Structure 1
C-alpha cells in the first residue's frame, strides 16, 4: 500500500499538462482506457492495478479542472454503441489552443511569460517549456529584467536539503560524499548537522565534523551522494557553536572581493546587483563597455562564484582578481570540451 501511495504522488499540474498534450495529440479522440493507460500521472497506477473507480474519479476531476481553466474537452460517442462510456472518445481541439490572430502582448507581459517558461525549463516538462520559450521568442519576448524586479531562479531545489533538515530537527548525525575543488573523487564525511544557512545565493550546511572534531561549512550543491541519516544522536550542546561558525563565515566573505562587468538588462546583472556593494565599482583599467556596468561583489567561495559566473556566459566578465578570472576561463574551457569543443 505504501508503494501504491508513493506512485500516486504525481504533482497535479504535471498530470493535467500531460493530459492536455494527449488530448490535443489525438485528433480522433482517445478512450478513457487509452488515456489512463498512457498518460503520465495515471499510467503507473493503471499498470499496477490501482482501483479503477479511484482513477475514474481522478479523471473526472481533471476534466472539470480543464473546463474551469477554459479548456473545452469534446466527447465523441461511439457510432457502434452510443451511450457506452467505455467507448466514448475524448479530445481537445487544437484550434482552440492556438493564439487568436488578433491577440497581442505588451513587452512586460511577454517578459513575464518568458520568465515563466524559463522557470519550468529545469523541471520535468523541459522539452515542452523549451518549445513554449521558442514560441515566445518569435513573438518578441526578449529577456530584460531591469524593470521587472525579479529574475528566473533556474535549477532544482537542493536534493540534500530535506534529509539534512530532518536530521537537524531530530539531532541525528549524517554521512555523505562531498566534492572538493581540485579533487577528482569526493570524500566521505560524518558530521553533526547544525543549521542550513543561505549566503551568496547558495545553501550551506553549518556542521561539526565528527572525524576531525572541528567546525565545517559545506555547500549543498557539492554533496555528491544521498544523505544517510544515522541512528546515532549528536551532542545537543554543539548547537551553541552555530553563531560563532556563521560569524567566521561572514568574516571570510569580506576577504574575497571581485569586480565583474555585467551586461545591462541581463540575468547576470539582476542576480549579482542584488548582493553587490553599494555605489559604482572601481577597477583598474578602462571603464565598463557600452551597455554594461561594473559590480563589486563579496564571496565566501571563489570556486563557487566562478561556477556561477561561467553559467552566465557572455553576460558577465571578471575584471579582478586575476585568479578568479582564470577559474572562470578554466570552467568555460571544460564546458566547451564536454560539448565537443577544443581549447584555444
Structure 2
C-alpha cells in the first residue's frame, strides 16, 4: 500500500486551532488525535501513538509561542489524569484588544500581506483574513502604496522542506536545470529557506558531493522525499556562510537595465537596484545583482517594451530570443486563425 503523504505542518496546526475553538467544553487528547486533520490519518486505535502525542505537544508549544493560549480542564472524576484532560482555546482571548486600532495605510499594508500569503499553502485561511481586513476598511490602491506587488504561485516543495529542516532530516528530490531536459537526482541536508531576488532558495549541503549547494524551489520537480536519517547537526553552522556566498555572487553578477519611468518594470526592479547613469526623457538606468540569468530574463520579457537590457550580453540574448519565440508563436496563431 502506498504511504500517505504527510500533511503540511501549518495545515495541521491550523486544523488543531479550529477544533480547539469550536469545542466550548474542550476535547481530550484522544478525541483530538483521532479526529483532527493531520493527526487522524496516523492515529491507531488501541495503540500507544507515542510519536503522535509528541507531535501534539510540539504543536501546542508552537501555538503558545505564537501567543495562542491553550486552556486545560481537569476531569472532575479523575483530576490529574492526563488522558481525561480537556483542551480548548477561548474565543475571547483571540479577539483584537478593544484599544487596538489601525490607520487606513496600515490596513492596506495588512491586506497586501494577506493577499501575498494567499498564494502560499494557507490560501483559504488568508482569504478569510483578507475579507476581514476589507470589512475593516482596508482598500487596495497601489497608487497610495507606491508599490507593485508580484504574487507568484505557491511553492509545493516549501512545506516539506521546512518540515525536514525543523526535524533535521535529509531529503531527496529531482532538480531541473534550464539547459537540461532530464531532471537530476539530489540528496541534501536542508539547512534554511532563503528569499533572494523575489524567489525562494534552499540553502543546503549536498550529502553525495560533500559541498554547499543552493537550489531554486521553483526548479524542484516532483515530491520532496524526507529520509528517516538525520543529518549531522553541525552542518547547520554552514548556512550563514552559504548565504553570504550567495549574496556575494549576486553582487558580482551585475546587469544594467533601462526601464520606462512610472512603469510596473520600474516599480518592481527599482527597490532591489542601484541607480545607473542619468538618462534623458522617460527612461531610467538601473544596475542590479543577478543570481540566475534565465529567470531574470523571463521576468524582463514580461515587462515588454518597458524594460531593455544593456548588459551583460548573455542576458540580452536570452531576452531577445524569448521575445522572438513569443512573436513567432503569435504569428503562427494568427496564421491558424486565418487558415
Give the TM-score band, short-chain normalised.
0.5 to 0.7
Q: Deviation digits for residues 32-89 of structure 1, max 9, x if unmatched?
A: xxxxxxxxxxxxxxxxxxxxxxxxxxxxxxxxxxxxxxxxxxxxxxxxxxxxxxxxxx
Residue 330 of structure 1, CA deviation: 2.2
Residue 337 of structure 1, CA deviation: 4.9
Pairwise CA RMSD of aligned residues?
3.7
Q: Deviation digits for residues 11-46 of structure 1, max 9, x if unmatched?
A: xxxxxxxxxxxxxxxxxxxxxxxxxxxxxxxxxxxx
CA distance in 1, matches of 2:260, 2:248: 30
CA distance in 1, matches of 2:233, 2:266: 42
Q: Which of 308, 311, 322 is the matching residue for 1:331?
A: 322
**Match of residue 320 from structure 1:** 311
Secondary structure of residue in 1 paired with 2:272? coil
Q: Which of 146, 151, 155 is the matching residue for 2:152?
A: 155
Residue 313 of structure 1, CA deviation: 2.1
**Match of residue 265 from structure 1:** 262
CA distance in 2, matches of 1:120, 1:207: 25
Q: Deviation digits for residues 114-171 of structure 1, max 9, x if unmatched?
A: x99x989989x9xxxxxxxxxxxxxxxxxx9566322132322222111110110011
CA distance in 2, matches of 1:196, 1:337: 38
CA distance in 2, matches of 1:163, 1:332: 36
CA distance in 2, matches of 1:199, 1:120: 17
Contact 1:119–1:154 (CA under 8 A) maintained in structure 2: yes
CA distance in 2, matches of 1:229, 1:338: 41
Is 1:305 aligned to 2:296, yes or no?
A: yes
Is 1:294 aligned to 2:285, yes or no?
A: yes
Change (3 A) 1:219 1:119: closer
| 1:40-189 equivalence runs, <5 A | 148-189=145-186
Q: Which runs of 5+ in 2 are unaligned?
A: 12-108, 124-140, 334-339
Is 1:233 aligned to 2:224, yes or no?
A: no
**Match of residue 282 from structure 1:** 277
Contact 2:170–2:229 (CA under 8 A) maintained in structure 1: yes
Contact 1:146–1:266 (CA under 8 A) maintained in structure 2: no
Residue 179 of structure 1, CA deviation: 1.3
